Amino acid sequence: MSTTPSLRPMFAFPGWIIEDIAIDWGDLLATVYLRRDGRIQQFKCSHCRTPLGKMRTQERTVLDLPLGTLKVQLQFTAFQGRCSRCGHFETIMPPGLSPNAQATDRLKQHVSHLCRYMPCNKVPEFIPISHHTARRWDKETLLKTLPAPDLDNIRALLVDEKSIGKGHHYLTVVLDADTGETLFLGEGKRKTTLDQFLGRLTAEQKAHIECVGIDRGGSYQASVKEHLPDADIVYDKFHIIANYNEVIDKIRRREWRQAEEEDKPFIKGQRFNLFRNPENMTPQRESSLKELLAMNEDLYQAYTLKDMLKQLWTYTYKGCASKFLDRWIELAKETGIDELKRFAKGLNKAREGLLSYCQHRITSAKIEAFNGVIKRIVYKACGYNDLDYLYLKIRQEGQK
């Protein structure tokens, strides 16, 4: 008895018989010849199960999964018929093939799997197709296999804008704040962009949403108030700290302009030291920063208030957080520094959005991590002109 494994089980298509397998070792090509099982006397309509009248036949050749370096193609006769009852036209093909397919579904799924871990333009090194075809098959497969986002059980949303590519090309991103699932990706960063997502939610879905985390300086607030009037707006703490860092930088630049020439290089080189958290400072950087703060009163006060401001997000009760915020605003005004006074005034206006954090405890941490996913995907693909495809690739990253 031969112990050589047979290739036939790999090409066992129900309703079809393998007539022959021919291998051309020169071209490294295996051709599998299939024919319809003659024991199946009638072709039936997939809609109403009425026997189909055969109209014409066509010889077809399609690609299948390769065997190592050996390319594989299937060759068979496709039958086209028409249902006399419902008028449906149907083409009889081996399972896993659509009427106009150039490849089997399992090959497309294999290509899609490769596209997850390598750029599309590298796929032709393994499969005899163009990178355009690889991209198209990947998109088709993801459309079929990725589950739709669950919009029925959302408690909290995170909304932010992301810049991709050159020319300040912005996208609006919406995530489930609890799971991190990507729910929407839209071009632009205007109210109308977020309207596209919120406007398609049902009344029941909207009623389930308790809060939305946004940047207080963005244009999304109007959309949230229009579509989710009962949801609390939570201003993201990381955006607030980033805004405060900009205030510190304005003070630093003002001090640089007013400094003596010999002091300017020292002040200019301290920009990122002023932004860093103490735990991320090296001893050398820490020593340099202390020297700067000792010689500049305005920067010292601004830096001290920055550490104090972070305590706002440690409170769990709105009343205590509100008292702390009042005290911080008072201290900022007492410094007499114009930049700090303007920032304190803005925080007072944003009071409700800041204090809502005590109840809902959501931040943009997941969306910042998601930003890294976007950069990685866009870099791997050398850019994306198809926003729908980018959305699918991002959702794919969230699947285990």
Is the distance from CB of 88 to CB of 45 less than 8 angstroms?
Answer: yes
Considering the domain architecture, whether residues 18 and 90 belong to the same structural domain is answered as yes
Q: How many CB atoms lie within 10 A of CB 372?
A: 9
Q: Report if residue 305 sits inside a domain.
A: yes
Query: What confidence score (pLDDT) does residue 2 get?
Result: 42
Q: Report if residue 151 sits inside a domain.
A: no
Domain boundary among 72, 98, 124: 98
Domain boundary among 98, 113, 138: 98
Average pLDDT over residues 113-136: 91
Provide the token pair at 293: 């703060």
Considering the domain architecture, whether residues 250 and 341 belong to the same structural domain is answered as yes
Q: Report if residue 114 sits inside a domain.
A: no
Query: What confidence score (pLDDT) does residue 4 get?
Result: 46
Domain boundary among 98, 129, 146: 98
Chain segment 16-51, per-residue pLDDT in tens: 889 888 999 888 999 999 988 877 656 777 777 777
Question: The domain spanning residue 164 has which CATH number?
Answer: 3.30.420.10
Considering the domain architecture, whether residues 221 and 369 belong to the same structural domain is answered as yes
Q: Report if residue 300 sits inside a domain.
A: yes
Considering the domain architecture, whether residues 51 and 3 belong to the same structural domain is answered as yes
* Neighbouring C-alpha atoms within 13 Å toward the C-beta of 63: 17
- For 126, residues 6+ apart whose C-beta sits below 8 A from its C-beta are 66, 114
For 14-22, the CB contacts below 8 A with 24+ separation are 14/95, 15/40, 15/94, 15/95, 16/76, 16/94
Indicate the burial class of 82 (C-beta count within 10 angstroms; 0-12, 13-18, 19 or more). middle
Query: Residue 227 and residue 368: Cα distance in Å, rounded?
Result: 25
Considering the domain architecture, whether residues 221 and 84 belong to the same structural domain is answered as no
Q: How many CB atoms lie within 10 A of CB 262?
A: 7
Query: Residue 262 and residue 297: Cα distance in Å, rounded?
Result: 18
- 51 DSSP β-pair partners: 44
Q: Report if residue 146 sits inside a domain.
A: no
- For 373, residues 6+ apart whose C-beta sits below 8 A from its C-beta are 394, 397
Average pLDDT over residues 47-69: 82
Considering the domain architecture, whether residues 251 and 330 belong to the same structural domain is answered as yes
Chain segment 206-248, per-residue pLDDT in tens: 999 999 999 887 789 999 999 999 999 999 898 899 999 999 9
Residue 324 one-letter amino acid: F
Domain of 282 in residue numbering reads as 238-360
Considering the domain architecture, whether residues 27 and 89 belong to the same structural domain is answered as yes
Considering the domain architecture, whether residues 87 and 56 belong to the same structural domain is answered as yes
Considering the domain architecture, whether residues 196 and 264 belong to the same structural domain is answered as no
Query: What confidence score (pLDDT) does residue 216 get?
Result: 86
Considering the domain architecture, whether residues 185 and 76 belong to the same structural domain is answered as no
Query: What confidence score (pLDDT) does residue 256 get?
Result: 83
Considering the domain architecture, whether residues 345 and 372 belong to the same structural domain is answered as no
Tokens 């304005």: give the residue: 250
Phi, psi of 43 (to 5 degrees): -95, 130
- 292 DSSP β-pair partners: none
Q: Report if residue 60 sits inside a domain.
A: yes
Q: Report if residue 222 sits inside a domain.
A: yes
Residue 74 one-letter amino acid: L
Query: What confidence score (pLDDT) does residue 57 get?
Result: 82
Q: Report if residue 125 sits inside a domain.
A: no
Considering the domain architecture, whether residues 257 and 299 belong to the same structural domain is answered as yes
Average pLDDT over residues 359-387: 78
Tokens 């200019």: give the residue: 268
Query: What confidence score (pLDDT) does residue 267 get?
Result: 73
Number of domains composing the chain: 3
Provide the token pair at 342: 């303007």
Chain segment 263-319, per-residue pLDDT in tens: 777 777 777 778 887 777 788 888 888 887 888 889 889 989 998 999 999 999 999
**pTM surpassing 0.95?**
no
